[in-house]
Amino acid sequence: MIYNIYKPKDFSSFSVVKQIKRITHEKVGHSGTLDPFADGVLVLGVGKSTKKLSDIIQYDKTYEGVIKLGKKTDTKDLTGTVIGKEKVPNINGIDFEKISQSFLGIQMQETPMYSARKVNGVRLYKLARKNISVKRNPKQIEIKYLKCTVIDSDTLQIKVECSSGTYIRVLAEDIAKKIGTVGHLIKLTRTTVGSFSLNDSLTVEKFEEEWKS
């Protein structure tokens, strides 16, 4: 079976998989990692259904995030170390519709060093923690929808619909650059994976109840 599980903040995707394995005593796989600081939809396959995950991985995804402007971190999110600061321009006069439009379409995006992608069999974040940086070939992604909304003088909310493999942390940093400053993600929620929606996702506790009944 395929299950739409809610991954809470500050848990790794792997730890959620581990909990579902403990409950089901079956093979469990997921259809795309969510960063530990993020929450939202994690689609899991249990038992023979793990074979279907290779298709689900390719589904488009939607996200809601919050960008803090003026500070750049090594991880591109709130879990990292601040490595740069820049003044934030007056963002109330910025045409965010025009900026959003400029990001739409097919483009190449470089995978961040702090990510679960493997290069030569080693996960990039393991190298990043040792201050080792390696060449990453950019991957083709597509931004299908983007909306930026001002929350306050140095904070933006973004809503994104994108192809599989898109790093919202990289997009957030690029948006900050476009408005003449630096920035990093401080909040991220995956709201859909294909037709799997956050509104229908089960907490691990709810899943356990249903599985045992």
Taking every pair of Cα atoms in the chain, the longest distance, rounded to a whole number of angstroms, is 56
Q: Where are the domains of the chain?
A: 2-58+195-212, 61-192
Q: Which of 10, 35, 95, 174 is catalytic?
A: 35
Q: How many helices (H) and strands (E) does the chain have?
A: 6, 13
Helical H segments across 159-203, by residue range: 168-178
Question: What is the pLDDT at residue 197?
Answer: 98
- How far apart CA 114 and CA 123 sit, in angstroms, is 9
What CATH code is assigned to 61-192? 3.30.2350.10
- How far apart CA 109 and CA 148 sit, in angstroms, is 20
What is the DSSP pairing of strand 28-30 with strand 39-46?
A: antiparallel
Helical H segments across the chain, by residue range: 13-24, 53-56, 96-103, 124-128, 168-178, 204-212
The predicted-structure confidence for 33-44, as pLDDT tens digits, reads as follows: 899 999 999 999
What CATH code is assigned to 2-58+195-212? 3.30.2350.10
Question: Which segments in the chain show pLDDT lower than 70?
Answer: none
The answer for 121, left when phi > 0, alpha when psi is -120 to 50, beta otherwise, is left
Active site residue 35: yes
Of 54, 40, 53, 45, the residue nearest 24 (C-alpha): 45
Question: What is the pLDDT at residue 168?
Answer: 97
Question: What is the pLDDT at residue 117?
Answer: 86
Token couple for 205: 């506790």
Question: What is the pLDDT at residue 88?
Answer: 97
Contact in structure between 179 and 171 (CB atoms under 8 Å): no
